Chains A and B, each alone.
Chain A
């Protein structure tokens, strides 16, 4: 049952993508897209099962998504400061980020790495090893760790 739902979701997503990208939406195009999307959905489901990947728990997701845009802008500003003044570069370095229990390491690492302030190089047991531009805890990092370091 779950695999059928997953197949349907993949099929829907691929068909939607196909409809967005083609130049004219005619019944023939949609039919062809639907058929190829089915093949793609079968393949996508198989790849997901083979990879064994899982996003992880949803704890702190809302907080993290709220903090994300501000952290993105602030970190880009900080990157500009780093380029302009060499003195601030000394603060950068590797450190660890301990996620709150229930927070999925995969999506948390992806969200953290998408900001210029930090990128994740290793993850183990809910502890991310990141290289950060400053020792100060950003909004997003605070959201993911729940305040604790």
Chain B
């Protein structure tokens, strides 16, 4: 157990937990905020796990998430705005 794994544990519970709470209740646009924050927190958790377990391949997961999660959020915003167009 090193500092990175400890931080990853804290972030996974305290960072992703509230995001889950927000993402499971409320209007669609409110849930999107939880999704967005969860992406940032999850990327950080993946980076920390990569360092904690000394497996550099996990860093690629964080890279993929950093690139794809904003794209996913933008798809959702486009979808939610769709009725007006």
* Touching chains A and B, CB distance < 8 Å: yes
- Measured CB to CB, the nearest residue on chain B to A21 is B63
Q: How far does the Cβ of A63 sit from chain B's closest Cβ, in whole Å? A: 28
Count of A interface residues, CB-CB < 8 Å:
2
Question: In the complex, A21→B62 CA distance in Å?
Answer: 12
Contacts of A23 in B (CB 8 A): 56
Rounded to whole Å, the gap between the CB of A114 and the closest CB of chain B is 13
Minimum distance in angstroms from A139 CB to a CB of chain B: 24
Bound Cα distance from A56 to B56, whole angstroms:
39
Q: What is the bound-complex CA distance between A21 and B64, given in angstroms?
A: 12
Report B30-75 residues with CB < 8 Å from chain A CB.
56, 60, 63
A21 to B56, CA, bound (A): 11
Q: Bound state CA distance, A23 and B55, in angstroms?
A: 12
Residues of A within 8 A of B60 (CB): 21
Specify which chain A residues have a CB less than 8 angstroms from the CB of B56 in the assembled complex.
23
CB neighbours of B63 from chain A (8 A): 21
Give the distance in Å from the alpha carbon of A47 to the alpha carbon of B60 in the complex: 26
A23 to B63, CA, bound (A): 14
A21 to B63, CA, bound (A): 9
Residues from 74 to 97 in A contacting B, C-beta threshold 8 Å:
none
Chain A residue nearest in CB terms to B60: A21
**Chain A min CB distance to B66 (Å):** 12
Closest A residue by C-beta to B59: A21
Give Cα distance in the complex from A148 to B56, angstroms. Answer: 49
Q: How far is the CA of A141 from the CA of B68 in the complex (A)?
A: 31
User: What mask results when residues 1 to 30 of chain A are scored 1 for a CB within 8 Å of chain B, else 0?
Assistant: 000000000000000000001010000000
Closest A residue, CB atoms, query B56:
A23
The CA-CA distance from A117 to B47 in the complex, in Å, is 27
- A-B pairs, 3 with minimum CB distance: A21-B63, A23-B56, A21-B60
| Residues of chain B having any CB pair with chain A under 8 Å | 56, 60, 63
Binding site for B on A (CB under 8 A): 21, 23
Q: List 3 A-B contacts (CB under 8 A).
A: A21-B60, A21-B63, A23-B56
